[in-house]
Amino acid sequence: MNVIELVNLEKVYHEDMPEIAVHAVNKLNLAISHGEAVGIVGPSGCGKSTLMQLIGCLDRPTRGSYLLENHDVARFGDNELARVRNKSIGFVFQTFNLLARYTALENVMLPLKYSNDPDPKGKSLAALEKVGLANRAHHLPNELSGGQKQRVAIARALVNTPAILLADEPTGALDSRTGAEILDLLLELNSHGSTLIIVTHDLGVARRMKRVVKLRDGRVEADGTPEAVLGAVEAH
Amino acid sequence: MSILETIRTALRALMSNKMRSVLTMLGVVIGVSAVVAMLALGEGTKADIETNIRSLGADVLTVRNGPAQRGAVRAQSVDSLKLEDAEALTAVDNVIAVAPASNGSAQIKRLAGNIGAQVIGVTPAYFQVQKLNIEQGNAITDAQVRGRLHSCVLGANIYNTLFPLGDAIGDHVKIKGLSFQVVGVLESKGSGFSSADDNVLVPITTHMSTLFGRQFVSSITVQVASEDLIDAAKTDVEAFLRMRHRLKPGDDSDFNISSTKDVLEAVGQITGVMTAFLAALAAISLVVGGIGIMNIMLVSVRERTREIGVRMAVGARRRDILLQFLIEAVTVSVLGGLIGLAIGAGGAYGMSKAVGTGFSLPVYAIVLSMVVSLATGVCFGVWPARSASKLDPVEALRYE
């Protein structure tokens, strides 16, 4: 079953001014099914970020359809999109984006607060447990290491049991060893059923996915196994 | 997100920037305290004046010469009240005392002493009706009135000036060159609305004939059996005097009657306008306080753009963001209002104690200050909050 189905998806910036209009995403077609681990790669300006924003329901496409769990979210209003982001999408950002004044636990609880969950604390502690940070629940972000911060962010992303985990360069701000640990964690969550989409320019990260989608000029240039899309592993 | 949770979020944001929150609050604190102080002092002064007037007695009517006042325009005064009118008025229902008075001013002399005074011609009833107490000697008697005797009762100030060594009873003073025997001295009333301390009281007959040569009295004060009967008595007295003066229906009365209640209403109106005016001036500082809140909220929205982006990414609706910032603004203003209320009330109380004026904190001032500070928060918080809720989540997340 497809979790995500993008059909002729387009995002045009400044469409009303043809001389500066940018087709960031151009008639893109892509289907991702439940439980996949997909890496989205491509050179700068290929439309990675825009695609991530569209998939994350942070932005609406100019044209085309986006079926998320069989709902055409391209036609959704602001409040419905907010609900979709809350229920169906878990974001992991390169720079963590934790609220500095909130403890790890409170940061994880945030999505549950917006969905008026009856047991935000219990679920958040369970999520922190899953990322191995139960003992850091009451620490503020600036009392945590980079890897720990990203673990908190991951716990926040999965606390609402979303349909997809959407990570934007999740290892970009971490050293390679910590980055590898975070990637291991994401893949482990994926092996337990979460659909994982990672947008990255780090081919090492992309190679660990089961499927890689390479973009160029807002379209899918190649789509397949890492070996098929990126070629054989080069010596590091 | 529930309202309670939103309030908690807002409080938390305020607590994390205590100094800034306090400074933002200051504008509202100053505004509300100024308004509350003005209202409290105004109401206190009003109550003071009312007490003063009430001390003259709420159970008396004063009849004066001249046509009844019509609006603000007052027709030329006509003298119409005679001493006989006063005597006849005792027959009216519920009237228990009638005190005619004739006013004039003159220099009072004794030896080298010389003082200007209100010389009032009175009957014995005057002392009762005006609630005057005798300190030494006696009041003016009926016999003195009937005999047009040259007797006088001195007000406390006159006595102190002319008789620095005391012992006035039986001695004489000169009024308009005529010798009057001092029969009594009034107890001091202290400073007040219209003090009897500067008056000299003489028999009304002597006053009207020998001293000033008058046909008409200046006023007739009528004491009524009880305060509740004052309106009925006023109607009766008016009808009675119109009959005595042979006025036809439709003619204007050639006298006017006022009760203490009328005076109280007039004074209440004047002090009310004054208080409102001062409070309105103070309210301007509230507007300034509100602008301060808006300013800081706009800065705060900009500073926390990324936070807003994160909140939107994890599911905050625009409404949630709007409420969060609006509640922050309202919390600042209402908290400022409460502090301002305490400072304003305390300040006004201190001032009233220091200066000796009245203090009264009316409930409406408390309610008003709370409502106004709430409204200030909403009015000046809504724009920053709206601009926060209108942010594009993509832009907000990208904001450095």
Look at residue B127 and tell me if it is in a domain.
Answer: yes
CB contact under 8 A, B313 and A97: yes
Residue B71 CB burial class (10 angstroms; 0-12, 13-18, ≥19)? exposed
| pLDDT score of B279 | 80
A86 in B contact zone (CB under 8 Å): yes
Report, as an integer, the average pLDDT of B159-183: 91
Nearest residue of A to residue B304, measured between CA atoms: A99
- Reported confidence tier of residue B76, pLDDT bands at 50, 70, 90: low
Domain hosting B120: range is 79-253
Average pLDDT over residues B360-382: 89
Per-residue pLDDT at A235 exceeds 50: no
In a domain, B59, yes or no: no
Q: Which of A83, A99, A113 is opposite residue B1, by nearest beta carbon?
A: A113
In a domain, A88, yes or no: yes
Q: Which residues of A touch B2 (CB under 8 A)?
A: 116
Three-state DSSP state, A201? coil
Q: B184: Cβ–Cβ under 8 A, 6 or more apart, which residues?
A: B134, B135, B136, B137, B138, B139, B140, B153, B154, B169
In a domain? residue B91? yes
B108 and B9 within one domain: no
Q: Are residues B339 and B219 in the same domain?
A: no
Across A58-92, b (16+ Cβ under 10 Å) vs e yields bbbbbebebbbbeeebbebeeeebbbbbbbbbbbb
Has residue B71 been placed in a domain? no
Q: Which residues of A touch B315 (CB under 8 A)?
A: 82-83, 85-87, 111, 114-115, 160
Residues B182 and B276 in one domain: no
Residue at a domain's end among B219, B253, B287: B253
Residue B69 falls inside a structural domain: no
Q: Specify whether B43 is located in the same domain as B135.
A: no
**Best to test chain B binding among A83, A114, A199 (most B CBs inside 10 Å):** A114
What is residue B192's predicted lDDT score, i.e. its pLDDT? 52
Question: Looking at residues B141-168, what average pLDDT do you find?
Answer: 91
Same-domain pairing of B211 and B102: yes
Q: Is residue A205 part of a domain?
A: yes
Give the pLDDT score at B113: 87
> Considering chain A, what is the average pLDDT of its residues?
91
B297 and B202 share one domain: no
Q: pLDDT grade, residue B335 (50/70/90)? A: very high
Instruction: Answer whether residue B287 is part of any domain.
Output: yes
Set of chain A residues whose Cβ sits within 8 Å of the Cβ of B1: 113-114, 116
Residue ending a domain, choose from B253, B284, B314: B253
Pairwise CA distance, residues B188 & B133, whole Å: 8
A101 in a structural domain: yes
Domain boundary (B253, B288, B306) is at B253
Which pairing describes strands B199-203 and B178-186: parallel, antiparallel, or unpaired?
A: unpaired
Judged by CB atoms closer than 8 Å, whether chains meet at B311 and A110 is answered as yes
Average pLDDT score over residue span A13-24: 88
CATH of residue A202: 3.40.50.300
How many domains, chain A?
A: 1
Q: Which pLDDT band, with edges at 50, 70 and 90, does A236 fall under?
A: very low
Report if residue B63 sits inside a domain.
Answer: no
Q: Do residue B313 and residue A91 have CB atoms under 8 angstroms apart? A: yes
Q: What average pLDDT does this structure show over A28-53?
A: 92
In a domain, A102, yes or no: yes
pLDDT digits (tens, 9 = 90+) for B199-239: 999 999 999 998 998 889 999 999 998 888 888 888 899 88
Residues B213 and B317 in one domain: no
Give percent of chain B with pLDDT exceeding 90: 42
Q: For B277-330, how does the pLDDT look when each residue is reduced to its tens digit (9 = 90+)?
A: 888 887 788 888 889 999 999 999 999 999 999 999 999 999 999 999 999 999
**Joined tokens for residue B180:** 């009057």
Residue (of B237, B189, B214, B194) closest to B64 by Cα position = B237
The answer, yes or no, to whether residue B73 has pLDDT greater than 80, is no
CA dihedral (A85, A88, A91, A97) positive or negative: positive
Same structural domain, B345 and B369: yes
Can you tell me the mean pLDDT for B191-199?
Answer: 70
Domain count for chain B, please give it: 2
> Are B180 and B238 contained in the same domain?
yes
Residues of chain A with pLDDT > 70, as a percent, come to 98
Please give, rounded to a whole number of angstroms, the shortest distance from the CA of B400 to a CA of chain A: 11
Query: Does B120 share its domain with B45?
Result: no
Average confidence (pLDDT) over A163-176: 91
Higher pLDDT residue, A58 or B196?
A58
Reply yes or no on whether the pLDDT at B58 is more than 90: no
Do residue B101 and residue B121 come from a single domain? yes
Q: What are phi and psi of B44, to 5 degrees?
A: -65, -45
What is the pLDDT averaged over residues B104-125? Answer: 91
Residue A83, min C-alpha distance to chain B (Å):
6
Residue range of the domain that includes A141: 36-60+81-230
Q: Is residue B72 part of a domain?
A: no
The answer to whether residue A22 is domain-embedded is no
